[in-house]
Every structure is written in structure tokens, then in C-alpha cells.
A and B are shown apart, each in its own frame.
Chain A
Amino acid sequence: MAGQCSDYINNLNDYLDGEISPELCKELEKHIGQCNNCRIMVDSLKQTVSLCREGKKENLPKALENKLTNILKEKWNKKFPKQ
């Protein structure tokens, strides 16, 4: 892999997820250190995931929770009729 920015793109995800070989990692980091565009690319790809993760987890709506118990109970009793 010789130094063209577009050659690095296929490995960027593995790099960001910590799943590339140490040699490739070294080469990539060297390039990123020298190339502003690739630095921006890596930084923004990182932010893409962290920004997406920010939205807080939603709880199951209470009304659904109550409705569910009844629906499931009914379904269950049909499947396993009591003798």
C-alpha cells in the first residue's frame, strides 16, 4: 500500500475498530500524521459513530408494557391450555 489516500479507505474501518495488523496500523498512522485530509477523514469517521451513539436509550413505553403482558398471557394460554 503505497501512500495514495484512496488506497487507505478500505482499511479505515478496521483501523478505527482496532482490527488491523500492527504493520498496517503503523503505516496508516504515519500517513495520517502527514496528511491533513486523511486526518480529517479519520476524525470525522470516529465522530460519526460517537455522535450516533449519543441518543439515549429509550425505555419501553409504560402503556405498551401493560398491554403486552395481557396480549402475551392470552397468547400463552392458547398455546399451553390449562388442564
Chain B
Amino acid sequence: MDEKQLVAKAQKGDFDAFLLLVNDHKSKVYNLALKMTGSVQDAEDIVQDTLVKAIDKIDQFRGESAFGTWLYSIALNQTRALLANYKKADLKPIEEYLPSINSIDTEHNSIRLFDWRDPHKLLEQNELKDIIDDAIEALPLIYKEAFILRYYEELSIKKVADLIGESVASAKSRVLRARVALRDHLSKVFEDNYGRTMQ
């Protein structure tokens, strides 16, 4: 049975059809929420609230997007609501990143960026995982969601833009800034952790 038929059945009250519809997406919503909040408890709440909301609004689903995308946008709203009181800090404009790169232009390569080489060979797996979780955690919400949707969920920029309710240009800029900010954060930690022993 295809998605359209399942939706039609669910909208007429068929619970099993609804379960089939959400089945493939449940763990995706869970992983999205887990990455966004960093908390198992919050992620569980978000999954539950999202599915309950989906039942509430099932009649409003018109099939303009895929069912999974629709469910995602509900999940994203739930996550945003939950995180609404957390930090709202903005990231610096992209030009203000990489002070090292900016000074290279004027100082003719007198500054050298830290070369990461292969962090796997230089850090324990668990250590590395914690460092990365912390780096993602530190991103302001609007950048975090753009980055996660683009690189974890592997959605196109157009889809990311639709989901977060922004233009493609703005989605692109958020993804770039998130990636560069993460890079800078990780670079600092790596340099502190193994930079000095590698001279």
C-alpha cells in the first residue's frame, strides 16, 4: 500500500494505517531530537508530543509534501518550543571567523593554521565523541538545526529552507556559519589536546 492510500485510511480512523505511516519516521524524529537537545529525556518527550500532535492534525495533512517531511516539521516545532528558553545567541558574520586567515592576507603567511591530521589516531574514540557532542551542543539553536538537517538528515538546502521557514540564501548562510563555527571550535580543542605534543 502506498503512502497516499495509508493517509486516506488513517484519516478515516484506521489506527493501523497511522502506525504504518509513522513507523519508518519514529526513530528519525528521535535522532533529530536527540541531536538537537542532547538529552534522552527531552528526545523521548519530543517523539511522543510529535506523534500526538500528528494525530490531532492528521485531517489537515493534504499531501503537499511527503508524510515524513510533514512529521519532521511538527517535530522541529516541538523542539523549538522546548528549547525556546535556551540561548538565542547569534553567530558572528562569516567574515569575522578565521581571524588567522584574515591576517594571513596582510602578514604573508606568518600565521599557520593548526593541521588536524587524523584526530582518530590522536584521540580515544570516546574522547572524540564527547568533544564533538560538546561542539554541536555549543551552537546556537538556529545554526544547530540548519546543520543537523543538512548533514545528519542529508536534506537538500531547499528542503532545509522549507522546514526552517527561511529563504534558500539564508538557509545556506546558516549552514556555512554553523560548519565554520564547529570547525573553529574543534580546531581549538584538538590543538589543546594534541597540538603541543606534535611539534
Contacts and interface: CB of A to CB of B under 8 A. Distances in A.
Nearest to A76: B15
Contacts of A51: 119, 128, 132, 186
B114 interface: yes
Contact of A37 (B100, B136, B152, B186): B100
B91 to A, nearest CB: 14
Contacts of A80: 13, 15
B27 A68 contact: no
B132 A55 contact: yes
B79 to A, nearest CB: 16
27 contacts: A5-B101, A6-B98, A10-B94, A13-B175, A37-B101, A38-B101, A41-B113, A44-B183, A45-B180, A48-B179, A49-B151, A51-B119, A52-B132, A52-B147, A52-B151, A52-B152, A52-B182, A55-B129, A60-B30, A60-B47, A64-B47, A64-B48, A68-B26, A68-B47, A69-B19, A79-B56, A80-B13
Interface of B: 13, 15, 18-19, 26-27, 30-31, 34, 40, 44, 47-48, 51-52, 55-56, 58, 94-95, 97-98, 100-102, 104-105, 109, 111-116, 119, 128-129, 132-133, 136, 147, 151-152, 172, 175-176, 179-180, 182-183, 186-187
A1 to B, nearest CB: 13
Contacts, number: 122
A53 B172 CA distance: 19
Contacts of A48: 179, 182-183, 186
B22 to A, nearest CB: 8
A9 B94 contact: yes
A59 B176 contact: no
A75 to B, nearest CB: 5
Contact of A60 (B26, B95, B172): B26
A71 B51 CA distance: 10
Given A47-B116, A59-B27, A76-B55, 14 more contacts: A5-B105, A6-B102, A10-B94, A13-B179, A36-B112, A37-B104, A44-B186, A48-B183, A53-B151, A58-B34, A72-B19, A72-B55, A79-B56, A80-B15
A60 B32 CA distance: 12
A57 B95 CA distance: 34
